[in-house]
Amino acid sequence: MLFRPFLSLSKRRRCDELDLLRRERTEGIGSILSVFGMIFLVSLIFLVSLIVLKPLVELRQIEQEREEAQTALRRTQADMRRAHDEFVWMQDPEYFEQIARDRSNLAKAGEIVIRPPRPERRTAN
């Protein structure tokens, strides 16, 4: 206060006590504000991380599903190629005849069939 030197001693003490109370209050308010500020800052960071991280996690899940779908597509395409090749071979009469002769253990006239020897079975004594 500007006019303190002109106040009486008891009023100066009262003013000093009031100043001291004001300082204590402002210090208390300052500490409360700093605590609320920290709480607000942590809450804000949490909300921003939720807003940013949730789409990133969903994007990663979508990418994994896409990779799995591409792998399944590649497997299916390979199966289709094999089935198509087998279908084409089955349309060839020579291939069909060869399979039939192999399964029924027959040979054409003049054709030599070579079979690997079967392993001998040893009996235990």
Question: Which distant-in-sequence residues (6+ apart) come within 8 Å of 1 by Cβ?
Answer: 15, 19
* Mean pLDDT lowest among 14-23, 45-54, 60-69: 14-23
- Listed in order, strand segments (DSSP E) in the chain are none
Q: In which region does residue 110 sit, left (phi positive, over 0), alpha (psi from -120 to 50) or beta (all else)? A: left
DSSP summary character for residue 6: G
3-state secondary structure of 115: coil
- pLDDT per residue over 25-63, tens digit each? 777 777 777 888 899 999 999 998 888 888 888 999 999
Q: How close are the terminal C-alpha atoms of the chain, in Å? A: 121
